[in-house]
Amino acid sequence: MKIYMSGKLVDEKDAKVSVFDHGLLYGDGVFEGIRTYNGKVFMLEAHIDRLFRSAKAIDLKIPMSRKEICKAVVETCKANRTYNGYVRLVVTRGVGTLGLNPYNCKKPQVIIIAASIQLYPEKLYKEGMAIITVGTVRNHTEAINPGIKSLNYLNNILAKIEAINGGVMEAIMLNTHGYVCEATGDNIFAVRGNMLMTPPSSAGILEGITRNIVMELASKNGMQVVETNMSRYDLYTADEVFLTGTAAEIVPVVEIDKRTIGKGKPGPVTLRLSEDFHVFARSNGTNIF
């Protein structure tokens, strides 16, 4: 495998990060997860725009232009023949001292990995997944703004640990007000009749790119799409619930906290949106080959 580091492609065995990189020492950096479908990088410009917004929010100067990073992503995918796969684009603060001062890091590092990914077993997409609510509360929006897709994912990891220890693969995180926020790595939706509901950005979510596409597709299908604060009651009593994310795509949820959702199987809205999303994803993107 070829990894893009410091402006060039290197062999996987030579892709090394300094122990003094603040990305390693403090989780100081930003990232994006990007999908490729049928030889195209999906929503590349949208991901790069979000990367630059995240970087600006933490005063991290990315040492490449948007155009240069787009080109580097395509080159990395091409080198690894990532026809249908996943790209992890990382920008660390770079090498610095053992102190917290980020301005001692003189050169941020751009890393691009293009490989395959299988986040959940195929069975869960066909039969649906069970999830639980966990005690780990989502970071307060004024502590770490959810719009910053940073390398510090400990909040999510702690919730993931609870999920796994609880016998499931995913969990619902609530915000500091007790409202539904998001899953450990995905956004969440509930279907009630012709209404599609999802938490707003003010609830403390990351506005996922897949999330936004699903909302557009639902609107085109004539659904009423509502961003609103949601309680667990809203999920328990919904006709359908599903998760969305770049890596996960659209995953039906059939059980929450031991409550059966709807009829206990993937519902028609979830299945239709999943089909529409895959059609859209496979026909849009930046050519690799």
Catalytic residue numbers, as ranges: 149
Question: What are the residues facing 4 on neighbouring strands?
Answer: 9, 112
What sign has the CA pseudo-torsion 203, 158, 92, 77? negative
Phi, psi for residue 36 in degrees, rounded to 5 = -120, 140
Say if CB 289 and CB 78 are below 8 A apart.
yes
Q: Residue 230 burial by CB count (10 A; 0-12/13-18/19+): exposed, middle or buried? A: buried
Query: What does the angle CA 225 – CA 230 – CA 235 come to, to the nearest 5 degrees?
Result: 90
H or E, element range at 11? strand 8-11
Say if CB 73 and CB 51 are below 8 A apart.
no
Give the Cα separation of 186 and 227 in Å (integer). 16
Count of positions (residues) in the chain: 289
> What three-state secondary structure class fits 101?
coil
Give the Cα separation of 19 and 96 in Å (integer). 10
Give the Cα separation of 110 and 268 in Å (integer). 42
Question: What are the residues facing 34 on neighbouring strands?
Answer: 87
Structure tokens at 261: 């959702």
Bridging pattern class, strands 195-198 and 224-227: parallel
